[in-house]
């Protein structure tokens, strides 16, 4: 469902989500899943008529970054976590991270 919402250009109501899923689920199931995703902070919602319309808070990459940040914030020793994370990165990813942080010049 999240991928379906991320591919949409606008917020969708549960009925619209159900139609785009081509059956297989009950309307109440779609409402429950969307509500739980909203409660977890993955979706925003706003009134559209008598129903809510749901939209993702971020694209797939943004949600992955958000999960990484939540895990990082769950440990009180950020320095240790980040140090171990960078130590375990393949050299290519470490170089990319350093470039993103401005430590290395961009390659052309």
What is the tens place of the pLDDT at every residue in 11-54?
A: 999 999 999 998 789 999 999 999 999 999 999 999 999 999 99
Cα dihedral 32→38→42→45 (10° resolution): 120
pLDDT over 90 percentage in the chain:
72
Q: How confident is the model at residue 104 (pLDDT cuts 50, 70, 90)?
A: low
Q: Using CA atoms, how far apart are residues 45 and 35, in angstroms rounded to an integer?
A: 9
Contacts of 11 (CB under 8 A, 6+ apart): 5, 44, 45, 46, 48, 53, 54, 55
Q: Which domains does the chain have, with CATH numbers?
A: 2-56 (1.10.10.10), 60-100 (no CATH)
């Amino acid at each position: 469902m999240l991928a379906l919402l991320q591919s949409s250009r606008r917020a969708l109501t549960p009925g619209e989500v159900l139609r785009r899923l081509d059956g297989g689920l009950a309307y109440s199931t779609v409402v429950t899943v969307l509500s739980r995703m909203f409660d977890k902070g993955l979706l925003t919602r706003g009134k559209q008529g008598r129903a809510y319309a749901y939209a993702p808070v971020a694209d797939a990459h943004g949600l992955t970054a958000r999960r990484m940040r939540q895990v990082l914030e769950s440990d009180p020793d950020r320095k240790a976590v980040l140090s171990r994370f960078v130590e375990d990165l393949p050299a290519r990813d470490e170089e990319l991270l350093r470039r993103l942080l401005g430590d290395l010049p961009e390659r052309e």
